[in-house]
């Protein structure tokens, strides 16, 4: 396996599965276009200076307050929420409040996680707590979470109540996942199963909610919504497996984060857990180094500040122990499980093709 470049051909080969008729970038663009007006409208409700801080976070203005073109992320979740409405036979517009609510919860968690993790960069820009201070990061995160519930519940429908309940459960799982993720940093060893549970909470739950919330707003029954959630859950795990690879081997210029960011934060991500669980000389050497790292930093320490070579050594050991290969394969397994979950759902073929194409996109993204 090559140690340069990202992923090799193993995941890329999935591209041949994708329904070539589907224009994924157009679907993402539609999600952004249909959801942004409502997102901006509700963010504008915030009292100053929270409206400005939120606008900075979303990339609508720069740190000086001037309008910015803005990289608000890929907006996979809004796109999924609209397709989700269509999966239930409703027009995509029906999914818009769900798309906005999920996007608000996602960004609430980014604001708080960046502060808790001490991350200084996101989407190639300084994070909110770096620019506006920790208090604003906390407060605006809280406000986005409150807005998420508000934007759904002001619909005043039974479906909105069901959608908000699913969002509340997903949000709590997301918070559970962050708690697990942080607690793993202080442990020498975490099993692959524990890591998958954490990632299912931290990433799977909200993606699952995005894929089901449009359908719920569109009047789908629980069986359909649950099947869509399963697709989203496994898609989230596939997405996170790719993210874990990027967290170690990704280029800062492409990821928008610091180099070795996951190793720096002592994250027990999938490649690390798989490598530790594999056994053998590289695995044992890695375990020794990580145990020494854990002892060398205090709990209040934000991260490790080794030089490049020391991170490179750890990355190489993870790879030698098979952690990189296993994670890459796991992304493919989760991708396949996600697609299998769609088989039980009665929906138009064109929608199934879109969900298939989006799954492919999520796994091969950012190469």
Give the pair of three-digit tokens for residue 121: 């960069």
CA dist 86 and 103 (Å) reads 19
Residues 229-258, one symbol each (x = binds a second copy by CB under 8 A, - = not), give ------------------------------
CA dist 20 and 252 (Å) reads 30
Closest distance to a second copy from the beta carbon of 169 (Å): 6
Closest CA to 306 of 364, 263, 250: 263
Radius of gyration of the chain (CA): 20
Residues 111-130, one symbol each (x = binds a second copy by CB under 8 A, - = not), give -x--xx--------------
Cis peptide before 49 (omega within 30 of 0): yes
CA dist 306 and 262 (Å) reads 13
Residue (199 or 360) nearer to a second copy, CB? 199
Residues 162-201 close enough to bind a second copy by CB under 8 A: 162, 164-165, 167-169, 171-172, 175-176, 178-180, 182-183, 201
Closest distance to a second copy from the beta carbon of 246 (Å): 24
H helices of the chain, where? 8-12, 24-43, 50-57, 76-87, 96-117, 128-132, 134-153, 158-185, 192-199, 205-217, 222-249, 252-255, 261-264, 270-278, 281-296, 308-320, 323-341, 349-364
Residues 94-113 close enough to bind a second copy by CB under 8 A: 108, 112
Task: Give the count of residues interacting with a second copy (CB under 8 A).
Answer: 47
Closest distance to a second copy from the beta carbon of 7 (Å): 31
3-state secondary structure of 121: strand
Binding status of residue 310 toward a second copy by CB under 8 A: no
Give the pair of three-digit tokens for residue 180: 């697990």
Residues 258-297, one symbol each (x = binds a second copy by CB under 8 A, - = not), give ----------------------------------------
Closest distance to a second copy from the beta carbon of 332 (Å): 29
Closest distance to a second copy from the beta carbon of 310 (Å): 25
Closest CA to 148 of 39, 58, 226, 60: 39
> 126 — phi, psi (to 5°)?
-60, 140
CB 144 within 8 A of CB 105: yes
Residues 130-169, one symbol each (x = binds a second copy by CB under 8 A, - = not), give ---xxx--xx-xxx-xxx-xx--xx-x-x-xxx-xx-xxx
Closest distance to a second copy from the beta carbon of 202 (Å): 11
Residue (148 or 246) nearer to a second copy, CB? 148
The site for a second copy (CB under 8 A) is made up of 45-50, 108, 112, 115-116, 133-135, 138-139, 141-143, 145-147, 149-150, 153-154, 156, 158, 160-162, 164-165, 167-169, 171-172, 175-176, 178-180, 182-183, 201, 299-300
């Amino acid at each position: 396996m090559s140690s340069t470049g990202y992923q090799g051909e193993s995941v890329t080969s999935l591209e041949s599965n994708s329904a070539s008729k589907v224009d994924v970038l157009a679907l993402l663009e539609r999600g952004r276009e249909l959801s942004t007006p409502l997102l901006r409208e509700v963010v504008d409700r915030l009292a100053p200076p929270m409206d400005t801080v939120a606008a900075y976070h979303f990339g609508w203005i720069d740190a000086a307050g001037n309008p910015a073109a803005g990289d608000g992320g890929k907006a996979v979740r809004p796109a999924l929420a609209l397709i989700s409405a269509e999966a239930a036979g409703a027009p995509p517009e029906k999914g818009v409040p769900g798309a906005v609510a999920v996007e608000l919860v996602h960004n609430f968690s980014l604001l708080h996680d960046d502060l808790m993790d001490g991350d200084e960069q996101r989407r190639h820009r300084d994070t909110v707590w770096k620019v506006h201070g920790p208090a604003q990061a906390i407060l605006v995160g809280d406000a986005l979470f409150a807005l998420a519930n508000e934007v759904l519940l002001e619909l005043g429908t039974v479906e909105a109540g069901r959608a908000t309940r699913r969002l509340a459960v997903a949000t709590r799982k997301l918070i559970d996942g962050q708690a697990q993720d942080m607690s793993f940093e202080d442990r020498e060893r975490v099993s692959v199963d524990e890591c998958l549970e954490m990632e299912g909470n931290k990433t799977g739950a909200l993606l699952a909610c995005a894929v089901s919330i449009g359908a719920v707003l569109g009047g789908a029954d629980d069986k359909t919504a649950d099947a869509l959630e399963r697709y989203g859950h496994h898609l989230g795990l596939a997405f996170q497996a790719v993210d874990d690879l990027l967290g170690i081997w990704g280029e800062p210029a492409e990821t928008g984060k610091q180099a070795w960011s996951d190793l720096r934060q002592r994250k027990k991500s999938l490649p690390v857990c798989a490598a530790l669980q594999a056994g053998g000389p590289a695995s044992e050497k890695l375990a020794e180094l990580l145990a020494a790292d854990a002892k060398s930093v205090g709990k209040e320490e934000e991260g490790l500040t080794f030089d490049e070579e020391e991170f490179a050594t750890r990355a190489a050991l993870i790879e030698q122990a098979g952690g990189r290969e296993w994670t890459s394969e796991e992304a493919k397994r989760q991708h396949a499980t996600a697609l299998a979950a769609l088989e039980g759902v009665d929906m138009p073929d064109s929608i199934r093709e879109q969900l298939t194409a989006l799954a492919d996109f999520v796994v091969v993204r950012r190469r």
